[in-house]
Structure 1
Amino acid sequence: MTTPRLHVAIELIEAIGEYLDSIGLSAADFYQQQGFNPDDEAANGYVDFALFSTLFEAAAKFSGEAYIGLKVGENFLARHWGRLGYLIMAGENGIEGIQYIQQFATIVTNALNMKWTSDSETLSCEFSLQGGTCSRHVVDYFVSSSLSLSRATTSDETHYLSVRFQHDGGPRPHFYDQFLQSRCYFNQPCNQITVDLAGLQQVSAYRDPRLKIILEEHASQVLQSLAATDELVETVQRYIVENLPHGAPTLKQTCEFLQQNERSLQRALAKQGINFQEMVDDLRRRMALEYIRNDYNFLDIAMMLGYSEQSAFHRAFKRWTGMPPSKYRRSLNQDGGEKMPGEAPGQQ
């Protein structure tokens, strides 16, 4: 229950806007349409990963571009990955760049899980994105931006040996082969990129040993800051969960427990794109879904989640899912009751 909030660097959101501007559309209009202001989030440095996925879907509709993830990735600039992007470019070669990705990927997002395997000639990265189903365009972005970064540091001729996607490839799957210049496969068990090891050994065109040392120190500092924030988030979540049966803890009560002033806590949470009240609401939602799956009665659930009346829980649940808890439970039973917490009935 007390997992850290998944985040993504604000620069990745800005990259979507920069692409829209580059094709003659207005990023400002798009952001306004979505009720999002990058300037409000810039000081925090990070936004919710789910928002990143939602904005990608919205940008695809706004632009009419079915492969916007690939296109935004093609427009990649080192600053989109912050210190990690610059560090990879200043490094010795692609091998060292991958080592930096393994060490500092959290600087860009903590939603990415990677597994690396190699043989004498190739290196493969199997990757997944946490947080349930996310936009196809997010997966495409990470595949395309990684290729753009590799081409920027070595050669425009750089390409993947193969790419495997869990998604279906959208309306024109063959477009991937052409765009990525590699063999692409869809509806696969996992996302996977395979590259030639020899290509990774090419010296970076931007190799800078002195700058690399400085950037390594900065990246380590950012990583330590994120780790401290994650630990704080877990502590706050744990306190909320443990005290929900007595009523939802207030910001003031939580700060008293942490021996921290309210403004400092709000600022620390904001760095992760988290609002305290939204955190309480999200924890209640996830716990409610799990309790219903485990067949608790609604009155007990309401009390365990700190609602003074069962009717208040029913209203909250309908706001979360669009349906009363009784209907949600019936739909779970119809689907076999195998849905994961937070997954809408009828969806895989």
Structure 2
Amino acid sequence: MLVPPYFAALSCRNGLEALERIEIYRKSNGSVLVHVEDLGDTVSIQFSYMLPDKPLPRFLIINQQLLLLDVLRTGTGLDIHPISVTTPYPYEDILHDIFACPIQIDADNQMLLAKADLERYFSPSHNMMWSYLESLFDQNYTFSPVAEDSMTAKLRRELKRSIPSGKGDLNTLAKRLDTSSRTLQRKLVAEGTSFNKELQEVQKAMFCSYLQLRLSTEDILYLLGYAESSSLLRAFKRWTGMTFKQYQTKLLTELNLSHQQNIS
């Protein structure tokens, strides 16, 4: 099962980037907001309803705190613990064992984490959703073959992880490939391609894959790093020669035919 904010967070380089991605998702999807405050050596995380006059129920606070802690532990592979947890509600012993830190009762909710823990590297191998998604992305690729050690191949591999994390821009990718943006562009041109071409091909493959998984348009926008649906839909028409609705109809027809063949 693909949970967009969880997948995007685990595609990030560390917990600080993951928090940023989750915070962005919550602003446009769902009713629970995430508030992140950098306090120097520590980082404060609070949750609230989009309507500020409404208190969060106990279940939602616990759910959000545990989800965030699970992202950090999964991404790093380490048993990270908060410095402290504050909650308006009493927590059972099992929650005290999971958080393994002081839990205080107060009107507000807060989880306080060490910034050093949030800066720890997230290993791509810990993002279990990649085991399925990478093969799906590859099925939808229309790339020309290139040498494994070419700059184009390196860029394609980096784009697959960086786009969901919200870091798919030229300058960031060049830095991650240990080069300058100008040198990256020059090497790509020498190999018969360009950064924008490779970026759009990866986005196209991802778009088609997310549609096959029946994600909402809002979730696809988020995972591809688009701010407006109109920009994405124009790009999709350019990629496929079809409107979004035409492609959805085609995809549903193919899925139904495949299902009928499997039954027979």
Common topology (TM > 0.5): no
Taking structure 1 as the reference length, what is the TM-score of the superposition?
0.30
Max Rg structure? 1
